[in-house]
Amino acid sequence: MQDRLFVLLQYIVPQHLLSRLVGALAESRLPLIKNPLIKLFAKQFKVNMQEAEREVLEDYVNFNDFFTRSLKTDARQIDSHPQHLACPVDGAISQIGDIKSGQILQAKGQDFSVTTLLGGQPAWSAPFQDGQFTTIYLSPKDYHRIHMPCDGKLVRMVHVPGQLFSVNQATAENVPGLFARNERLVAIFETEFGPMAMVLVGAMIVASIETTWAGLICPPGRQINTWEYVEQGAIYLRKGEEMGRFKLGSTVILCLPKNTCEWNSELQPGTSTRMGQMLASTATMPMDD
């Protein structure tokens, strides 16, 4: 009953207005606002500040600066095996497996379209129709920067406006097509293993999504916005490099073509992840440089 009331409330509240108000609060640099907010959050969610580059809470200019904090250089180890994909984020596996006839499993009895998820163009989703996917949920205490699972060249970025439902287990089980109806950013890369889609899904009170190449992504209006990246000025990111970040966290969905990899058998729904650990073993040898 609590879950149903929680989900019902999200249909009623002004999602975008609430998110903008929280976003403004998270950007406040006033010590009387940001310091108690950061301290309360760190205590409530037992944030491990010993691995943060800046351990002193007062050193952060605002809550968003704290939330997207960088880690010490030795805090995470990137799996360096050339045939392994590295996990892009700290979090927990929500779902992992195969995309079946263009449908991605959301929760028991719930799935959604990979075409809708990636922006609605069949040509964009064609390589992934019977492919593979994993959905990773970032909790409030997690490190909220997103890193590359492998080397890749950016081909396309798509901003898809939408709702801002929470993305926890309760909403995943009760909101149809949750991840394909929430606001999201889609980044398509060419990799030595084939195309790869990384989808950064917004959520309730997520103030913004940023990428390392375009900064803050918040186009006006409710139209899908697309950026194509050609050879001139091409953007290459190496395995383990940061590609984006959430200001107030959410979910990352990784999509791959059919038979690209074998998922790490230790990663099952509910399993915690650490950025950089082995996510999968690729099915084919990488091409020579």
Nearest to 66 by CA among 117, 29, 113, 112: 29
Q: Which of 125, 147, 159, 166 is catalytic?
A: 147
The contacts of residue 244 (CB under 8 Å, 6+ apart) are: 145, 146, 185, 187, 200, 209, 210, 211, 212
65 is catalytic: no
The Cα 36–Cα 57 span in angstroms is: 10
Which of the residues 19, 125, 208, 250 is marked catalytic?
250
Question: 150 and 87 in contact (C-beta within 8 Å)?
Answer: no
For the CA atoms of 67, 47, 78, 254, what is the dihedral angle to 10 degrees?
A: -60
Assigned token pair, 191 = 């990799």
The type of residue at 90 is D
In what helix (H) or strand (E) does residue 81 lie, and over which residues does it extend? none
Helices (H) then strands (E): counts for the chain: 8, 18
In the beta sheet, which residues pair with residue 113? 103
Instruction: Please tell me the distance from the alpha carbon of residue 25 to that of residue 32, in angstroms, as a whole number.
Output: 12
Residues 90, 111, 142, 151: which is the catalytic one?
90
250 is catalytic: yes
DSSP 139: P
Cα angle 123, 281, 255; round to 5? 25
Pair of tokens at residue 160: 């898809």
The yes-or-no answer on residue 159 being catalytic is: no
The angle formed by the CA atoms of residues 133, 137 and 139, to the nearest 5 degrees, is 165
DSSP, residue by residue, 262-278: EE-TT--TT-EE-TTSE
Strand 145-147 versus strand 236-237 pairing type = unpaired
Which residues have a catalytic role annotated? 90, 147, 250
